[in-house]
Amino acid sequence: MDRVSRYTPPIADQLFLLARVLDCPALLRLPAHAHVDWPTVVQILGEGGRMASHLLAPINAAGDLRPAALIDGRVMTSPGYAAAYRAFADGGWIGLDLPRDRGGQGLPRVVQNAFAEMVNGACVAFGMLPLMQRAAARLLLAHGTPEILEVFVPRLVSGEWAATICISESQAGSDVGRIATRATRGDDGRWRVTGGKIFITFGDQDFTPQIAHLLLARTPDAPPGTRGLSLFVVPSRRIGPDGTPGEANGVTVTRVEHKMGLKGSPTCVMSFDNSLAYPVGAPGAGMRCMFTMVNTMRLEVAMQGVAVAGAATARALAYAAERRQGGPAAEPPPPLASHPDVRSMLLEMRALTEGFRAVVLQTAALLDLAHGSEDEGERRRSLALAEWLLPVGKAAGSEAGFRVANLAVQVFGGHGYISDSGVEQYVRDARVMAIYEGANGIQAIDLVTRKLGGGGERLGLFVDRVMADLHCHQSACPSLADALEVAVADLRVASDWLVARLEKQPRDCEAGARAYLELVAVVALGWMWLRMAGAAPGTSLADTKLATALFVGEQLLPVSSLLRQRVHAGARTLDALALEELCRYPE
């Protein structure tokens, strides 16, 4: 049997969320998006879904079975990738939310994000490349000089050139401040970079003649740590006077890693040898500028998790309706979905997928308001709330992707463990999402130390919004509303506990950071499900939304009190053993 590569785009749920929960039509009235109307959004997402299932889903298995490989110094991508890339770029899909005067289509980010779910649900390994082009274009639009912008951005948006993000080095993973790649300015006034980077996604491929590497490096005499890092764009080939790629620029891929999943996306070890580089942003501001790209990517990694969860859920629901097991021997066996334990798995899958889809799209919608609202107060509040939700969505979305994919394998039983089902690939592909773009433990520390510690405004905005919606939609699902109220109370107590210790007992706060992030995620999940329950009556999704909302209130939200207790535990037990004792394995 051939590997199953099927993808069902979640159009109905996406349109329900955009239209009835997130008020996308109001976003379309913002000046930046006034050229787009709602029927156009519906049409674009419909087309996007068809493209994802017909163009990208078929290459998903090919990437897994025939990973990208280094051949004679060049990366050769998996079968079908180059043709799919050409069609994707020619279809104008790269720059959906980028400005129209730079070749994009000026759609709201929330629409782009919904589209990104379909790309990543069909083939997440492929989706890495257009993600970086978009994120790099955003970065250059925000921080590049007019010359850099003119040369790079239209070519990235059209797909003529590709991009990478070059941060990681062997000694500098989460600890970005230890980057050692050097940037020096020659007598000719031009900058050159020398050093090695690891784990670089699509560091090379066989479908664009030029790659713009967005790279962090240290300049001579720069201070240690992240304050000494500057940002450069390093083309893989030198740029000729007319913009065409010329001679080689000292950029080589020395290895393509063999890895657990995401195999169609080459993960490259790279060397930069005196490579001509163009500065982006001020010297020493590299990290700050790079965050424009990183945050764009974090939002999409959150959506990658949801995307894999959605793809796995669709497969599991269909399988559980079809496959028959159990029941009295004298009768025909009933479908798997009739058994309570299987139902519980299916409902959890729906709850996490649809709930975090809503959380991630809500974050994107807030970013649209943060940049496009005409009301300054709304811009500021929306940005603060989006900044609060971003680490939560990245961590919880990626965890949900892995959890749901794993549950899908369980629903498929032994058949899910067999590669031909195509389901075990979801588990392997999803695993890295909790690691890259800032490991989830680092997201949790960021949430506690920077976002919660930044004066409490973001937490206050979040809790106020949740409570306002709770009162508004209480009658839609009273048991969920009650559970959500308890979870918010747990969150308030845990937050007070952390804030009281942030300065004097930071280690206790770090110890509880992951549980705290999970607590915020649980509240966000309940918040979204209550809003969905409130918006669903009268739609075709009314019954499934209400039943799943009941499940969320009964089965998922009560974990909030356990999470509060875990936050309060602090570091004492964790620190009971000396480091040598902790790490000595009893032989």
Ligand X SMILES: Cc1cc2nc3c(=O)[nH]c(=O)nc-3n(C[C@H](O)[C@H](O)[C@H](O)COP(=O)(O)OP(=O)(O)OC[C@H]3O[C@@H](n4cnc5c(N)ncnc54)[C@H](O)[C@@H]3O)c2cc1C
Residues that bind ligand X (CB under 6 A): 164-168, 173-174, 199-201, 259, 262, 267, 432, 435-436, 439, 441-442
Residue with nearest beta carbon to ligand X: 173
Residue 166 near residue 230 (C-beta atoms within 8 A): no
Nearest to 158 by CA among 106, 89, 98, 97: 89
Nearest to 521 by CA among 455, 444, 449, 468: 444
Residue among 204 and 354 whose Cβ is closer to ligand X: 204
Q: Shortest Cβ distance from residue 581 to ligand X (Å)?
A: 19
Nearest to 49 by CA among 129, 111, 132: 111
Q: Shortest Cβ distance from residue 202 to ligand X (Å)?
A: 7
Residue 381 token pair? 């509040």
Residue 109 near residue 368 (C-beta atoms within 8 A): yes
Residue 311 to residue 425: CA distance in whole angstroms: 11
Place of tokens 């979870």: 487
Residue 38 near residue 19 (C-beta atoms within 8 A): yes
Enumerate the β-bridge partners of residue 172.
169
Residue among 432 and 567 whose Cβ is closer to ligand X: 432
Nearest to 135 by CA among 106, 92, 97, 101: 97
Q: Shortest Cβ distance from residue 196 to ligand X (Å)?
A: 12
Q: Shortest Cβ distance from residue 204 to ligand X (Å)?
A: 12
Residue 255 to residue 198: CA distance in whole angstroms: 9
Q: What amino acid occupies position 127?
A: G
Q: Shortest Cβ distance from residue 246 to ligand X (Å)?
A: 25
Residue 158 near residue 103 (C-beta atoms within 8 A): yes
Residue 248 token pair? 């080689």
Q: Shortest Cβ distance from residue 576 to ligand X (Å)?
A: 18
Residue 281 phi, psi (nearest 5): 80, 180
Residue among 9 and 261 whose Cβ is closer to ligand X: 261
Q: State yes or no: is 437 an active-site residue.
A: yes
Residue among 435 and 461 whose Cβ is closer to ligand X: 435
Contacts of residue 564, Cβ cutoff 8 Å, sequence gap at least 6: 490, 491, 493, 494, 519
Residue among 61 and 509 whose Cβ is closer to ligand X: 509
Residue among 402 and 462 whose Cβ is closer to ligand X: 402
| Angle, helix 376-412 to helix 506-535, in steps of 10 degrees | 90
Residue among 31 and 224 whose Cβ is closer to ligand X: 224
Residue 250 near residue 274 (C-beta atoms within 8 A): yes
Place of tokens 């680490």: 391
Residue among 405 and 480 whose Cβ is closer to ligand X: 405
Beta carbons within 10 angstroms of residue 236's beta carbon: 24
Give me the torsion for CA of 110, 116, 118, 119, rounded to 10°.
160
Q: Shortest Cβ distance from residue 221 to ligand X (Å)?
A: 24
Residue 30 to residue 25: CA distance in whole angstroms: 9
Our CA angle for 34, 35, 38, nearest 5°, is 80
Residue among 142 and 435 whose Cβ is closer to ligand X: 435
Residue 165 phi, psi (nearest 5): -115, 120
Q: Shortest Cβ distance from residue 256 to ligand X (Å)?
A: 11
Nearest to 94 by CA among 27, 143, 162, 41: 162
Strands (E), 172-259: 182-185, 191-201, 211-218, 229-235, 237-239, 245-248, 251-256
Residue tagged active-site, from 354, 399, 437, 518? 437
Residue 57 to residue 54: CA distance in whole angstroms: 6
Q: Shortest Cβ distance from residue 126 to ligand X (Å)?
A: 14
Q: Shortest Cβ distance from residue 574 to ligand X (Å)?
A: 12
Residue among 124 and 337 whose Cβ is closer to ligand X: 124
- Measured CA distances, 421 to 6, 62, 401 (Å): 10, 14, 18
Active site residues: 437
